[in-house]
């Protein structure tokens, strides 16, 4: 199955380290970060799960829930969670799905076509409160994910959903943004009465709205 941005994230019901998760019900009206792992007891993923646990409060502030998925069973997750806490200094504080039947992996197109069928692609999905997929970011097994980048994308999506702006390259929360080209001159004056820096008619830089 190939998913695209803007599609409704597939629903599922799977056991996790925090009990049974019915995904759409669990998501509610929150944002979510769903991130997949190829298997338990993998070194890069161990560091990632620990990092997400340490920084969960930053996702909480953005109204974003964390949920991991691995194709190994629940008893394996339990043992791995102990290693994560021991080596990373943070206990799991969000669900880790036990997708040993590969229900989630199949629904989200995470089975690696040229690898062992138990190996899943390491993908991050950002899902909004309307349950639409807003980002898909796939990493190779050797490269750890960047938590700062995932938070940055959530900040950008939440800002640009509210205001008629886009965020430029390397943007960080609080920095200048771009007025979307679809906004007319008159509409821009109403929304941004303090004015903007017009680099070109299609590149209008403005202070980030509050």
Domains of the chain listed by start with CATH number: 13-144 (3.40.30.10), 163-206 (3.30.1020.10)
Section 99-110 average pLDDT: 90
12: annotated active-site residue:
no
The per-residue pLDDT for range 6-19, each reduced to its tens digit, is: 999 999 999 999 99
**Per-residue pLDDT, 169:** 97
E-only strand ranges, 2-151:
13-16, 19-22, 31-37, 64-70, 96-98, 122-127, 133-139
CB 24 within 8 A of CB 37: no
Q: What gap in Å lies between CA 77 and CA 79, rounded to an integer?
A: 5
Q: What is the pTM of this model?
A: 0.92
| Confidence band for 119, pLDDT divided at 50, 70 and 90 | low
| Confidence band for 111, pLDDT divided at 50, 70 and 90 | confident
The per-residue pLDDT for range 39-74, each reduced to its tens digit, is: 778 888 999 999 999 999 999 999 999 999 998 888
The per-residue pLDDT for range 137-168, each reduced to its tens digit, is: 988 888 899 999 999 999 999 999 999 999 99
Q: What gap in Å lies between CA 79 and CA 81, rounded to an integer?
A: 5
**Per-residue pLDDT, 140:** 84
pLDDT over 70 at 1, yes or no = no
Helix or strand holding residue 162 (H, E): helix 147-162
**Catalytic option among 21, 45, 71, 150:** 45
């Amino acid at each position: 199955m190939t998913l695209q941005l803007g599609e409704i994230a597939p629903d599922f019901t799977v056991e996790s380290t925090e009990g049974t998760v019915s995904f759409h019900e669990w998501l509610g009206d929150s944002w979510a970060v769903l991130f997949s792992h190829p298997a338990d007891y993998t070194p890069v993923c161990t560091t990632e799960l620990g990092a997400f646990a340490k920084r969960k409060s930053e996702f909480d502030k953005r109204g974003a829930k964390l949920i991991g998925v691995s194709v190994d069973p629940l008893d394996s997750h339990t043992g791995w969670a102990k290693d994560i806490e021991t080596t990373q200094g943070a206990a799991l504080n969000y669900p880790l799905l036990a997708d040993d039947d590969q229900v989630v992996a199949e629904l989200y197109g995470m089975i690696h076509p040229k690898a062992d069928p138990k190996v899943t692609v390491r993908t991050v999905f950002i899902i909004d409160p309307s349950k639409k997929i807003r980002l898909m970011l796939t990493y190779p097994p050797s490269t750890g994910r960047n938590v700062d980048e995932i938070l940055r994308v959530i900040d950008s999506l939440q800002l640009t959903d509210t205001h008629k702006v886009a965020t430029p390259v390397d943007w960080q929360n609080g920095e200048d943004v771009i007025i979307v080209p679809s906004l007319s001159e008159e509409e821009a004056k109403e929304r941004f009465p303090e004015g903007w820096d017009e680099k070109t008619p299609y590149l209008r830089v403005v202070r980030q709205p509050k």
